[in-house]
Structure 1
Amino acid sequence: MRQLLWWLIGGTQGGKNRLRIVRSLNRRPMNTNQLSNELDLNYKTVQHHLEMLEENDVLTTTGDEYGKMYFLTDRMESNLDLLDEIAEQASIDND
Structure 2
Amino acid sequence: MRQLLWWLIGGSRGGKNRLRIVRALQRRPMNTNQLSNELELNYKTVQHHLEVLEENDVVTTRGDNYGKMYFLTDALTENLDILEEIAEQADIDIDDA
Instruction: Give the corresponding residue for 1:12.
Output: 12
Instruction: Give the corresponding residue for 1:36.
Output: 36
Letter in 2 for 1:23: R
Tell me, in whole angstroms, the C-alpha distance in 2 between the residues paired with 1:66 and 1:93: 31
1:60 match: secondary structure: strand
Deviation of 1:8 after TM superposition, in Å, equals 0.1
Answer yes or no: is 1:81 the counterpart of 2:81.
Answer: yes
Deviation of 1:16 after TM superposition, in Å, equals 0.1
Instruction: Give the corresponding residue for 1:48.
Output: 48
Deviation of 1:44 after TM superposition, in Å, equals 0.1
1:24-82 per-position Cα deviation (integer Å, ceiling 9, x unaligned): 00110000000000000000000000000000000000000011000000000000110
Percent of pairs with identical residues? 82
Q: What is the number of residues matched between the two proteins?
A: 95
Deviation of 1:84 after TM superposition, in Å, equals 0.5
Tell me the TM-score normalised to structure 2 length. Answer: 0.97
Tell me, in whole angstroms, the C-alpha distance in 1 between the residues paired with 2:86 and 2:80: 10
Runs of 4+ that moved beyond 2 A: none
Deviation of 1:19 after TM superposition, in Å, equals 0.2
Coordinate RMSD, CA, aligned: 0.4
Tell me the TM-score normalised to structure 1 length. Answer: 0.99
1:61 match: secondary structure: strand
1:70 match: secondary structure: strand
Q: Runs of 5+ in structure 1 lacking a partner? A: none
